[in-house]
Structure 1
Amino acid sequence: MDQRIHDHAEVLVDWSARIEAGDDVVVRVDDGAHDLAVAVAEKLGERGANYLATYVSDEVESAFVRSHDGDFDQDPDFETAMLERADSVLSLRGKSNAAEKAAAPGEKRAAYKQSRTEIKARRMDTDWVSTIHPTRAHAQQAGMGIGEYRDFVYDAVLRDWESLADEMANMKEILDEGSEVRLVKEDTDLTMSIENRTAVNSAASVAYDSHNLPSGEVFTAPEDPEGEVYFDVPMTHDGARIRDVHLTFEDGEVVDWSAEVGEAALEDILTTDEGARRLGELGIGMNRGIDRFTDSILFDEKMGDTVHLAVGRAYGSCLPEGEDGNQSAVHVDMITDVSEDSRMEVDGEVIQRNGRFRWEDGFEQE
């Protein structure tokens, strides 16, 4: 087995999830992530943790959703009971077919996802971490050969996370102290409030309230967006390709939308429920170790020179105590490239221009 798989497992268990002896750990294993699951199980055994594996397959889920009558009124207790006992949930993503979910009708997929809102909420109450094992399906989706893609993944995962966390603390401080963010580029002029929000320094560890490996972003929960925004980075959602998205916000809600490719899939997202037309996240990519788009949100949204916004559910970690924030069965990130002819302002001060932050070499004041 590639030594980097063992190194990946060690970063996941020790830095990201901070697993200790006696912890109850659920490991959700995608059908293509077997090798990483073996390495993770070995590390959990060495740490003296308790281990329970569950099998995740888009093909299996799609078969269930397609054959169902669409009324997913099921008692979730059998699954939430397991999650209530868990200290950590490690999701090892690694698909054998990245487009499998598209085999089920969009309205059924949306109804199934909505029926699992409580289960997802329980999982997110744990110290959960999601990561990815490089598979041929993901490599094909990224337009790379498998060897090249493995190098790409491990370059992103096996980082000096402490140093990156220190750098991202600059952005967290700016957002924590700010009241309004404005994003300006071609076909984009959007303002949103971040007052009384707490930004997350997403440094790939639950110790930073960060739950993805790799990571490398700072994010918060905006509200009251006004204006328009253009997302020029392609994405695949539930197996459907979506590209060149335009959203228009009025009174904090999406009132108009379009996509050059995948407009029906975009509409499925935005009509899932009322909260799906409001913002749940503003995220700023700061991981310059990710050097290309790969059609995987886990990597693409962390890439330096990008900003992403998510429609749907807001993360409670960004909200004041006692405030629920935007609620939705979905949380879908969309990315815009800010490497050229762009700026981001906080309270009228430019903090990023053409992808460069004000503390970096090459930042232009005007």
Structure 2
Amino acid sequence: MADQREQKLAKLLVEYSVALQKGESCLINAVDIPISMTEALIAAVYEAGAFPLVNVWNQRLERAMVQSASEASLEKWADVDTYRMKQVDAFIGIRGIANVRELSSIPEKSNLYGKLYNTPVHMETRLPHTRWVVLRYPTEVMAMQADKGTLEFEDFFYKVCTEVDYQKMADAMDVAKKYLDTVDSVHIKAPGTDLRFSIKGMAFIPCAGKMNIPDGEMYSCPVRDSVNGTITYNCDSTFHGHQFKDIRFVFKNGKIVEAYSDDNALIKEILDVDDGARYLGEFALGCNPGVLHPMDNTLFDEKIAGSIHVTPGNAYEDCDNGNRSSVHWDLVQIQRPEYGGGEIYFDGVLVRKDGIFVHPELRGLNFES
């Protein structure tokens, strides 16, 4: 039986995040999570008068499917799951992390999996055609990543996920959006970073509990060929099972022309998977006051207060520069003083310094913990 915290989380996901209505259908993708959490989601969907569909999955089965896969088998798998995705109104994806290195020894197959399965099923179908939310479930592995004890991490998880006034956050973001949507040029300065690009004509999209839990970011998208300069990321990031450190990119006219990390060969292999992987698909401002330190978990790290993420790969259709890729890699730079500081300029005006919004139209994004 689900405990009260699981029930509260399920209610938030069903009633607020995907806003299920009577007679609608919702696919629950339950990966390495307790039956009790899945039961709570099923109950919440039924309570809303909607119809639950459930896919129970885990990382070991995912690896088994991927490591021996051919292009034909991945395409068939994608065809079946794309058909299913098209039948539902909403999608709730909740994943526990059993082993962050599960796919690390099969990088070529992981890239193929991303290209032939994730792209058609998720990027081309789920994202534009369903109301969706994705999140993690607290595990011992996640607690280790966050340098916390298991029970301590569970308390942290439920606090930042369910004890947030997302409507208040959304209201503040709507105010900031009026100014942000007028911005043309962006200049980011930080240790190892001097990056410029345009976001002219690209709206900022508020994220306040609808697509991710926890949430707290506003994202836009650089004009594809406008990016020039260098960015150095100060958060580690695991991609296809490898934990990358000390990532640095050099851009020329939108394209990543130099890429460095603890494994230069592997990062270049990822960026060469298709034509769009070396161009940016997202630029975002993180502003969740309850998430302050990296834990190599994208859904948390990209929301860190005082952070940005500058993302190689696919652009979202609601803020689209036309870039298409099987890659969408949210890489995070924290600009608070304890992480080296940093400045963001919009149209030549300083708008955020050392992680604090200083522009009068954006101060409402300095949410209190």
- Asked if 2 retains the 8 angstrom alpha-carbon contact of 1:199 and 1:218, the reply is yes
| Of 247, 255, 258, the match for 1:256 | 258
Equivalent positions of 1:213-232 (< 5 A) are 213-223=213-223, 224-232=226-234
1:349 maps to 2:349: yes
SS in 1 for 2:181: helix
Equivalent positions of 1:198-217 (< 5 A) are 198-205=203-210, 211-217=211-217
SS in 2 for 1:53: strand
SS in 2 for 1:331: coil
Distance 1:73 1:237 in 2: 19
- 1:167 offset after TM fit, Å? 2.3
SS in 1 for 2:75: coil
Aligned to 1:45: 46
For residues 78 and 309 of structure 1, do their structure 2 counterparts lie closer, same or farther at Cα, with a shift above 3 Å needed?
same
- Asked if 2 retains the 8 angstrom alpha-carbon contact of 1:98 and 1:239, the reply is yes
- Equivalent residue letter for 1:345: Y
- Equivalent residue letter for 2:352: Q
1:336 maps to 2:339: no
SS in 1 for 2:121: helix
Distance 2:310 2:57 in 1: 27
- 1:265 offset after TM fit, Å? 3.6
| Of 131, 146, 164, the match for 1:142 | 146
Which deviates further from its counterpart, 159-168 or 227-236? 159-168
- 1:71 offset after TM fit, Å? 6.0
- 1:15 offset after TM fit, Å? 1.0
Map Cα deviations across residues 21-60 of structure 1 (whole Å, 9 max, x no partner): 1111100001224332111111111111111101232211
- Asked if 2 retains the 8 angstrom alpha-carbon contact of 1:290 and 1:303, the reply is yes
- Equivalent residue letter for 2:209: A
- 1:90 offset after TM fit, Å? 0.6
Which deviates further from its counterpart, 135-144 or 107-116? 135-144
Map Cα deviations across residues 185-227 of structure 1 (whole Å, 9 max, x no partner): 111110111011111010112xxxxx11111000011122110
Cα RMSD of the aligned pairs, angstroms, is 1.8
Alignment identity in percent? 29
- Asked if 1 retains the 8 angstrom alpha-carbon contact of 2:15 and 2:48, the reply is no
- 1:307 offset after TM fit, Å? 0.6
Unpaired runs of 5+ residues, structure 1, are 206-210
Aligned structure 1 segments of 4 or more residues deviating by more than 3 angstroms: 69-73, 262-265
Distance 1:80 1:188 in 2: 40
Map Cα deviations across residues 262-287 of structure 1 (whole Å, 9 max, x no partner): 43442232111110000000010011
Distance 1:20 1:123 in 2: 18
Which deviates further from its counterpart, 169-178 or 158-167? 169-178
Distance 1:178 1:271 in 2: 31
Taking structure 2 as the reference length, the TM-score comes to: 0.91
| Of 69, 93, 96, the match for 1:94 | 96
- Equivalent residue letter for 1:123: R
Q: How many residues of Structure 1 are paired with residues of Structure 2 in the alignment?
A: 351
Aligned to 2:181: 176
For residues 264 and 54 of structure 1, do their structure 2 counterparts lie closer, same or farther at Cα, with a shift above 3 Å needed?
farther
Distance 1:155 1:102 in 2: 31
Taking structure 1 as the reference length, the TM-score comes to: 0.91
Distance 1:43 1:330 in 2: 33
- Equivalent residue letter for 2:199: I
Aligned to 1:327: 324
Distance 2:269 2:147 in 1: 27
Aligned to 1:14: 15
| Of 219, 234, 237, the match for 1:235 | 237
SS in 2 for 1:201: strand
- 1:70 offset after TM fit, Å? 5.7
Distance 2:49 2:175 in 1: 37
Aligned to 2:319: 318
Aligned to 2:194: 189
- Equivalent residue letter for 2:93: S
